[in-house]
């Protein structure tokens, strides 16, 4: 057979093979490999009945692993003194039940930014090693994976590498992972630091504080998350992606743009006395479902899974309700739907906002009411809304303090109008 003919046939087969390979993995990823899903258990009292129940109710067929926070380490008193170590109350019984079957559970040790002052000298590394040994070698509940969640200053990743090297040498038979921010990916030290561990977790969610109270509170930007995943994929080291489920309040000082506090877990019993605007930021279940669908269809070859922050619990008002999360991890979008109702009694029209969907919904920023009739009327929105406008078009605007997301099936009275007028139901 002439060489020219052989070359042509070879090129044809290579072209066909390349086409089918492209079809299998996609232009920018690997759709042939499935993505695992795991979830962080970040509650401090994990053995509380409601948390233990949530742990045991996680759908194992789609969520293979749990990552409980087992300890927090802070060197607030300086690098030469013993650190402050906080230990959550673990749901040992619940984790022991999981240990009887197949799982990809891990113990997470969180380390505060103050540890940077130790420069990760041998003494500091040994403190973390001793702590980790309790959970990697425990006869009561042990795990095969250790994850380090360290608030490392971006320019000191080389020092962080000392801790990871120490832990890998101390526990060579265990899996070692760590959390990383998208901004770390461009640092010259990152690739070398990542190579020490078996994999890392790319945390694509983080609070973007608004520069002024009128701006929205953003917990995750889906476009930025997509870009970060593509960039991490180019590095080639195995990684998981952490996605949010939570909400948060940003509290501004009165008559100022200064942020007083950020609340994303336990609500305070009372707001500070000098509080001004309180803004709510939420994670949209539909947006997260879309991201998961996209990545399941096509993702970088190095991307191996998703980790949700944090485990939804029935009593956690700053998080998705468990039924919502259960739908999202299965790739389903919970229905978000609301409506208004006007309840009339004599001369008073009470405006009610109702959540008739499956997921929590925020109260609208503004509500436009159509007023018909004669005579004057009065409006009272309590602490939720203030009203303004002309006699025929009345605009309600959110008050200074945002309301918690309204749970499915619940309703809230957002104000009333009193007078010899008819209030038309606004479209939600």
Q: What integer pLDDT is reported at residue 195 of this predicted model?
A: 98
Count, residues in the chain: 428
SS3 163: helix
Strand ranges (E), 219-297: 239-244, 248-253, 259-263, 275-281
Residue 1: which pLDDT band, with cuts at 50, 70 and 90? Answer: very low
Q: What CATH class does 338-424 carry?
A: mainly beta
Q: What integer pLDDT is reported at residue 5 of this predicted model?
A: 36
pLDDT tens digits, 386-408: 988 776 788 999 998 898 999 99
Q: Tell the CATH topology of 26-247+282-328.
A: TIM Barrel (3.20.20)
Q: What integer pLDDT is reported at residue 392 of this predicted model?
A: 73
Residue 428: which pLDDT band, with cuts at 50, 70 and 90? Answer: low
Work out the average pLDDT over 264-282: 86
Task: Kindly state the tokens that stand for 383.
Answer: 């602490």
Q: Among 102, 178, 171, which residue's Cα sits nearest to residue 138?
A: 171
Q: What integer pLDDT is reported at residue 20 of this predicted model?
A: 35
pLDDT tens digits, 22-37: 333 334 566 557 899 9
Work out the average pLDDT over 277-300: 95
Mean pLDDT over each residue of the chain, to the nearest integer: 90
**Range with the lowest mean pLDDT among 27-31, 107-111, 316-320, 385-389?**
27-31
Q: What integer pLDDT is reported at residue 212 of this predicted model?
A: 87
Q: Phi/psi of residue 134, each to 5°?
A: -60, -35
Q: What integer pLDDT is reported at residue 2 of this predicted model?
A: 41
Q: Phi/psi of residue 425, each to 5°?
A: -65, 125
Burial class of residue 211 (count of CB atoms within 10 Å of its CB; 0-12, 13-18, 19+): exposed
Asked if 169 and 129 count as a contact pair (C-beta separation under 8 A), the reply is no
Query: Does the pLDDT at position 4 exceed 90?
Result: no
- For the chain, the domains span 26-247+282-328, 338-424
Work out the average pLDDT over 166-192: 98
**Any bridge partners for residue 370, and if so which?**
393, 424
Q: What integer pLDDT is reported at residue 29 of this predicted model?
A: 60
Distance, in Å, from the CA atom of 169 to the CA atom of 171, rounded to the nearest integer, reads 6
**Range with the lowest mean pLDDT among 4-13, 137-146, 266-275?**
4-13
SS3 99: helix
Residue 21: which pLDDT band, with cuts at 50, 70 and 90? Answer: very low
Query: Does the pLDDT at position 161 exceed 60?
Result: yes
With vertex at residue 407, the alpha carbon angle to CA 402 and CA 410, rounded to the nearest 5 degrees, is 100
199-203/239-244 β-pairing: parallel
Q: What integer pLDDT is reported at residue 8 of this predicted model?
A: 36
Asked if 114 and 76 count as a contact pair (C-beta separation under 8 A), the reply is yes
Q: Which residue has the higher pLDDT, 5 or 100?
A: 100
Q: What integer pLDDT is reported at residue 411 of this predicted model?
A: 97
Q: What integer pLDDT is reported at residue 30 of this predicted model?
A: 64
Q: Phi/psi of residue 109, each to 5°?
A: -110, 120
Q: Among 221, 280, 229, 277, which residue's Cα sits nearest to residue 254?
A: 277
Query: Does the pLDDT at position 214 exceed 90?
Result: no
Query: Does the pLDDT at position 255 exceed 90?
Result: no
């Amino acid at each position: 057979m002439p060489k020219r003919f052989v070359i042509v046939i070879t090129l044809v087969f290579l072209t066909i093979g390349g086409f089918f390979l492209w079809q299998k993995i996609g232009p920018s990823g690997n759709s042939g490999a499935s993505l695992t899903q795991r979830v962080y258990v970040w509650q401090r009292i994990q053995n509380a009945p409601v948390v233990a129940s949530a742990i045991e109710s996680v759908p194992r067929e789609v969520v293979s692993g749990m990552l409980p926070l087992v300890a927090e380490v802070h060197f607030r008193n300086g690098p030469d003194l013993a650190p402050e170590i906080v230990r959550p109350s673990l749901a040992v019984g619940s984790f022991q039940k999981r240990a009887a079957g197949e799982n990809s559970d891990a113990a997470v040790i969180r380390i505060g930014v103050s540890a940077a002052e130790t420069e990760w000298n041998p003494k500091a590394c040994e403190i973390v090693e001793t702590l980790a040994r309790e959970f990697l070698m425990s006869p009561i509940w042990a795990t095969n994976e250790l994850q380090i969640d360290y608030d490392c200053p971006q320019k000191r990743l080389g020092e962080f590498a000392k801790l990871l090297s120490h832990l890998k040498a101390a526990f060579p038979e265990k899996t070692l992972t760590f959390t990383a921010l998208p901004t770390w990916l461009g640092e010259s030290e990152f690739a070398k630091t990542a190579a020490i561990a078996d994999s890392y977790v790319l945390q694509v969610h983080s609070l973007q504080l608004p520069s002024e109270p009128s701006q929205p509170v953003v917990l995750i930007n889906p476009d930025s998350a997509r870009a970060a995943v593509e960039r991490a994929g180019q590095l080639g080291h195995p990684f998981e992606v952490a996605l949010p489920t939570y909400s948060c309040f940003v509290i501004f000082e009165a008559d100022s743009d200064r942020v007083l506090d950020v609340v994303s877990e336990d609500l305070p019993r009372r707001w500070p006395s000098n509080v001004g605007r309180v803004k709510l930021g939420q994670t949209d279940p539909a947006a997260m479902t879309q991201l998961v669908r996209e990545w399941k269809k096509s993702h970088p070859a190095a991307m191996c899974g998703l980790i949700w922050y944090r485990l939804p619990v029935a009593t956690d008002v700053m998080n998705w309700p468990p039924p919502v999360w259960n739908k999202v991890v299965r790739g389903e979008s919970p229905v978000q739907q609301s409506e208004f109702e006007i309840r009339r009694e004599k001369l008073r029209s009470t405006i009610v906002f109702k959540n008739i969907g499956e997921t929590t919904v925020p109260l609208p920023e503004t509500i436009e009411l159509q007023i018909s009739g004669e005579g004057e009327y009065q409006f009272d929105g309590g602490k939720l809304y203030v009203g303004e406008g002309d006699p025929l078009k009345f605009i309600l605007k959110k008050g200074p303090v945002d309301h918690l997301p309204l749970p499915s099936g619940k309703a809230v009275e957002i104000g009333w109008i009193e007078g010899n007028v008819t209030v038309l139901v606004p479209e939600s």
